[in-house]
Every structure is written in C-alpha cells, then in structure tokens.
Structure 1
Amino acid sequence: MGYAPDPRSTLAPIDATTEPSLIPDLIARIPWPRWVVFIVILAAGVLLVSCLICVICCCCHRRRPRKQPKDKEAVGLGSAQSSTTTHLVQPDVDCLEPCSGGAQQWGRLLLSLEYNFGSQEIKVGLRQAENLKTEGTADPYARISVSTQAGRRHETKVHRGTLCPMFEETCSFLVPPAELPRATLKVQLLDFKRFSEHEPLGELQLPLSTVDPQHVLESWYQLGPPGTTEPEPMGELCFSLRYVPSSGRLTVVVLEARGLDPGLGETYVKVQLMLNQRKWKKKKTSSKKGTTTPYFNEAFSFLVPFSQLQNVDLVLAVWARGLQLWAEPVGKVLLGPRASGQPLQHWADMLAHARRPIAQWHHLQSPREVDRALALQPRRLPLPRLHS
C-alpha cells in the first residue's frame, strides 16, 4: 500500500528571489524617481574617479625633476657662430649670480653718469646696490669721490639692515675736460658701525676715460674687493646729541677726539649753531695741550624751538693753536637737515629718540668743504647815517 505524502512534512523548494536585498530596498524607499537616483550615483562615481586621477598625477609630478623652460635655458655665447661680440650681449640674470668655485663676488652697483660741458661737472647718480658680501645683515652706505678732487667726497644716507640698499642719491664733482681722461671715480661701500671702525664691503674704481661724455650712461658695475681705507689725517671727533621737544633744549656733549696731527700744540672744540644760513650761537671747550687724543667731556645747551629745528645747522670744529698766536680750524663736522651721510643719520637718530643722548664718532671733514656746503650768508652791517 502506498502512503500519500504528508503536506506538512514535505519541504518546499526555496527561491532565491524571495530573499530580501539591501540595495533594491534602499532604492525603493527613496521617494525620488529612479532616473534621478541613477544620475546622482553616476555623478558621484565620476567625481570619485577624477579625484583619484588628480592625486596620482600630483604624486608623479613631485617625483619627476622639473625641467627648465626652453625660453629660460642658458645659452652659451661661445657656441654662437656670429660676428656679434660677446660684450654687446646682455648677460642673463642667472649669469650674474655668484657661481660656485669661481672668484668671490662682492655685489654690484647701478650708476648713472652725465657730464655737463657748460659747468664742467660730472653728475654721479647712485641708484642701488645688490648682493653685498658680508655675514648676516649690514647697515651699508656709500662714499663717492673723484681722484682729481682731493678732500671732496659725498656720503649717502645709511640704510639699516639690508644687503640690497636703494640709494637714489645724486652728487656732482668739478672735473675740467682736460682732467677727464686721467680722473677716476671711486665708490666705496661701507658697513656703518656706531662705536668702531666702519667695515668696508666693496669698492668700485671706474676710470672716467672709459666713459663717453656725450651721452648719459646708466649701467651695472661689478664691485671689487675692498681696498684699504684712506687714512684720515684730520682725525675723528666723538660727541653726543640730545634734544627735548617740550623745552626746546638741544644738548651737545663733546667727549673726545683721536687721530689728530701730533704737531698740533693746543686744541679745543668750537660748537656753533646756524639759523637760516647765518651764524647764531657759539660756545667752545677748554684747551688741551700736547696730545693727539684730547679728552673734553664738556656739555653745552642751546634753546632751539621745535618750529626752528628744520632751519638750524650744527657745526662742531676742532681748532688748533700752534707756535703762532692765532688758531686755525683743523676739521669740521656738519649736522642738521642739510647734512649728508653719517652726520645726517646721527641727527635723525637724535630726533627719533627724543630725550635720550645719542653718541657717535665722526670723521673730520675739510673746513673749506663744510663752509661750501653751508653757503653762509654774510651779515649785513647797518650803513652809517650821513648827517646833513
């Protein structure tokens, strides 16, 4: 006898399509149409692939050495087969940088030169300097002179904490046309030191015979190694300045001098104030005998209102009395708004640090040169009245 299969004991076949699926259920639960969902998924995939491609390209670009563009590749002048001489071709900027293994570079100067046949003066424009050679930073300034004018020189303003100073200063020197072929322009770059010798940074000696006086020339010149600094036969003077704006009191303390001529018998310092290019006030120190390094340490005070400060010139002069009965000036220092170089910087430091004494050494300049820079106006004496 056969038994009928029990419907409860038989296992029904399992269909795979009846199991729940995660992705279709999620898609079915989204209230957006299906074509919108597919577009969003496609856009996300494209964005992800683009990001991966960018990351791969950046990694490969960093590992690969960068090639120099063809328009900036250095071209050797020796390989150029042409009749053009190399000194007519302006060198590339990369060639001006100091090369390893070559001669030591001291920097370069941008100068402009112009000669005026009418006034017989050569006009020197010192524009800027670059890549000065020193350890760390410096406070550079320039000293310009011409070999045919002994004792005449121009000092620029001191530029703080830079090896690429922008001077933009102009000076003139009297050079007759007959002396032009044998004259030499000398530009010294020095590092300003307040209480010690100034450190030379480089030097340029340019024979004016190589300059065409018919044209205005402006070009870069390579600096050479600094030469020995010229001896100062007139010596140096140390003094301090202090100005109090509220009371209008200018205090000058004459400290000491050094490097004076041993043949001077008796020396003293005269302090003089000029107002509107006319002599105004003057005082002098005590005399020191038989020494090349006299020590004074004497203070002098002047009442100078702040409104008149821009019209005042301060002159400190070292005077000497020899075997003769009369005294003569050995050297002078001019300070004030019309000064230049180191004295002008000292005057500016005094104004920038009010109520504080600022001491500094100064080289004595030729008395004739200082008097020429002052251009003092003569005092007009009153004419006597004629009685009728």
Structure 2
Amino acid sequence: MIHRMKQIPFTVPTQGPVQNSRRGDVRLQEEAAFGGGSEPTSPTGKRPSVEIPGAYALGSIDPSLYKIADEDDDYDVPRDHIGRIWFAVEYERETEKLLVTLIKAKNLPSRVLGNDNGCDPFVRLYLMPDERRYLQSKFRKKTCNPKFEESYVFQVNSRTIDDRVLRLTVYDVDRHKRHNVIGHALYPLRDHDCLLEGRLVVWRDLEKEVSETTSDRGEILVSLSYNNHLERLTVSVFEGKTFKRVDGVTTVDSYAKVSLMIQNKMVKSKKTEVVKKSTSPTYNESFTFKLPVTSLDTASITLTAMQYYSGHKDKAIGRVVLGSFMFARGKELDHWNEMVANQKEQVSHWHVLS
C-alpha cells in the first residue's frame, strides 16, 4: 500500500560525511550516523558497522510529519504473520540521492508467549545487489511495535537506479546478545517512478525468505574472460532465448546493454546492435573493459536485455548481475569465480533474466 506525501525537509547534522582523499569514497562519521553523536542503545555496547561508500544516516525526523502512516495501524493480521514495516522513499534525480526514512514496525513476534514486549528489534538497510554493506537503525528495547523515525541517504547513479532493490531486514536481539533475523522486506526501485511519485510512504509485510528472481523473462548466453597481465575483462554476449515481450507487443526488437560497476558506481556501459523481430536474438558481440586486479572483488557486470522502441524510451526486458560475493549469488557468482580461477580462458554460461 502506498501513500503520497507532502514535501518534508530533512535536516543534516552539523558533522556529516567526510571525503576520504585516498580512496574517493564518502565515509560515514560515527557522530552523523547516530543522530549527531548520541550513543546507540546496543545490547552489545558496541557501535554497529554502517560504513557504505556514498551512504550515510541523517538525524531523527519529526514523527508528526508521518502521521498519515498511522491510518494503517489497525489491520487484519494474516495467518503466520511476522510483522509489518513502514518506510518512506524518495529519489532526488538532480543530486542522485535516494532518501529513505525508516518509520516503524508493528506486530513483530515476541520471544515470550503472551508478552508483547518480548522483542528487542533493529533494522539493517541494504541497497541490493550489495549484501555485504548496510546502514543500521538504533536498537529498540522490549517492544514488538517499535517506532524508529530515522532517515538515511544512499548515493545512487541515476543510470543504475532501476537495477537496485532496497532491502530492509529486521532483527531481534535475544538475551544472549545474538542477532536473530525476523524477516525481510523488498522494494525494487524500478517500481518507483521518481519523476511522478516523489516521496512515498510504503508498507510491506515481512517475509522469512525473499527472492527477486523470476524465470519468465528469458535467458541470455554470456562469456567472461579476464587477462590479469593486461588487466582486461572481456564480456561476450552471444544470444538470447524466449525473451518476454514488454507491453504485449507482437514482435521484439532488442539489444543487450553491458555495464561495468565498481563499488556500485558505473564505470562504463556498452551495448550491442539492435536485433529486430526476434524473441531469441543472436548478438555475437564482445566488449572489453579495463579492470585492475585489485578491483576484482569490488567489481560486477550488469547485463540488461532492452526492448528497443523507435522514437520512444527503451524498456528493460530483464537483467542479470555477474560478480563477486559482494554482488552476486548462485550461478552468477559461480560464473565470476570460474572466470577468476581460469585466467585468459573464455567461460560461457546461460543465465536467467530477472
């Protein structure tokens, strides 16, 4: 469910992120991460790790600005329900900033039967496909209905915003200080029309397991080859299979876009020629990228099958991300690791578009 919101000012603390001159990453100062220097109420007594290049926490927000979300406080709790979470999302295309406000959660499971205070929750916010780094909320003690009212900023290139998915994972800290996952909520940013929708308040029911993969968009045959002496990555796109038609068109004119990302930043993007009137196109094109050996663990390749429209904006049929453990899982991760282990060899695999 989605609510439209009025314009809400975000106030940045006086000590914000600083620039690391050596690496060029935007680092998070601890004082800014937790609302101007206040200590998080962590049961472990330690500050959680929230350092992400180009991302940082803002201070607390005025909860009265989000009273519209209270309209959904009373709802029919589904069977096997593990909680619901509310958050607000806005993308500023001019500054390429994704503004996320974590508002609250309700009906989280209690560790003590019949006691609605048997939960010590906190939330981690990820910008997928990066699963290793996150921003983290403050801890809330003894409540199954926590109010967070905290704001965060992710720096996201406008050319890659549609490839990213906001994931919120809710944890409970038990009496042994173990962090137990309660559930996850996903918000694909390709579903967020930045120009039309502005800031939205969104709720999602938590799920035990989440998956973005779908198998009805088609497949693509790709090869990877890396030459460590030349520090050169070669990506070859051979063919597609059973591409899903966008907007119900009877024929598909398509091309493949290949983008090199380092630490979630676009380095270079290239594309094949357009193949007309085929849902199983043949491309047979190769692209080379300069990629230092030291960047292999922080690099990824995003392949996007695009439906071409003459005179109109092209639309994505589906995509696949190949990269290290930081960016990929399953067959996509295995393909990348096989490439790294077999220097200069061409390693080819079919991949399902998602």
Greater share of strand residues, 1 or 2? 2
Tell me if TM exceeds 0.5.
no
**TM-score normalised over the length of structure 1:** 0.37
TM-score by length of 2: 0.40
Task: Choose between structure 1 and 2 for higher RCO, CA contacts under 8 A separated by at least 6 residues.
Answer: 2
* Greater C-alpha radius of gyration: 1
**Which structure has the highest helix share of the two?**
1
